[in-house]
Chains A and B, each alone.
Chain A
Amino acid sequence: NAGVTQTPKFQVLKTGQSMTLQCAQDMNHEYMSWYRQDPGMGLRLIHYSVGAGITDQGEVPNGYNVSRSTTEDFPLRLLSAAPSQTSVYFCASSYRLAGIGELFFGEGSRLTVL
């Protein structure tokens, strides 16, 4: 009963490096999303997807890219990491289009950019 799986759980990068955070769900959810969680600021939406081949920007999309080639996977790419991207990243999915329904979260990926 995997649910939403994120990898890696921890990552340290140097400024300017690139990396991809992986997210996979096995619930056949159409809606998937990425959030970042920072102290005192709550969770903020980075990008989201309402189905394979469809992505859109959230509240804080700058510095991040996403793609959705399959229903199951929704990777988040940092092209040139900056210290401001130090955060905890959560992937979430929902069975309803546009995410209007119960959200299921992964356990998070803690990223530190030096």
Chain B
Amino acid sequence: KQEVTQIPAALSVPEGENLVLNCSFTDSAIYNLQWFRQDPGKGLTSLLLIQSSQREQTSGRLNASLDKSSGRSTLYIAASQPGDSATYLCAAQNEKLTFGTGTRLTIIP
């Protein structure tokens, strides 16, 4: 059974810093790995999807990497802004999609 872990559960950083969010998964036979953003009281918004054959994906200030052999993915956020404050979830797709419990990110102005 796939298990997805995100550590830490919460993170606070000053505005302008670069930061890395971590995601680990136990079953490496995945189709893809997705990163989502969730704002309080809202649904999830897809940020990046990395196919199993890819090593990374980039969108603006976001860069997600995937290392299937070690069961890890990272989300790198460059030059963080207060608007980046949200909960970030990763999800690993095998036959079904398994979510982590998320990292709550706070950017301090």
Could you list which residues of chain A lie within 8 angstroms of chain B, going by C-beta atoms? 4, 40-45, 58-59, 90, 92, 98-108
A44 to B42, CA, bound (A): 17
Could you list which residues of chain B lie within 8 angstroms of chain A, going by C-beta atoms? 4, 31-32, 34, 36, 41-46, 49, 89, 91, 93, 95-102
A42 to B45, CA, bound (A): 15
> Do B43 and A108 have beta carbons less than 8 Å apart?
yes
A1 to B99, CA, bound (A): 27
**Minimal Cβ-Cβ distance residue in B for A110:** B41
**Cβ-defined partner of B49 (8 Å) among A40, A90, A102, A106:** A102
A45 to B32, CA, bound (A): 17
Of A40, A58, A59, A105, most B-chain CB atoms within 10 Å: A105
Separation in Å of the A55 CB from the closest CB of chain B? Answer: 14
> Do B43 and A100 have beta carbons less than 8 Å apart?
no
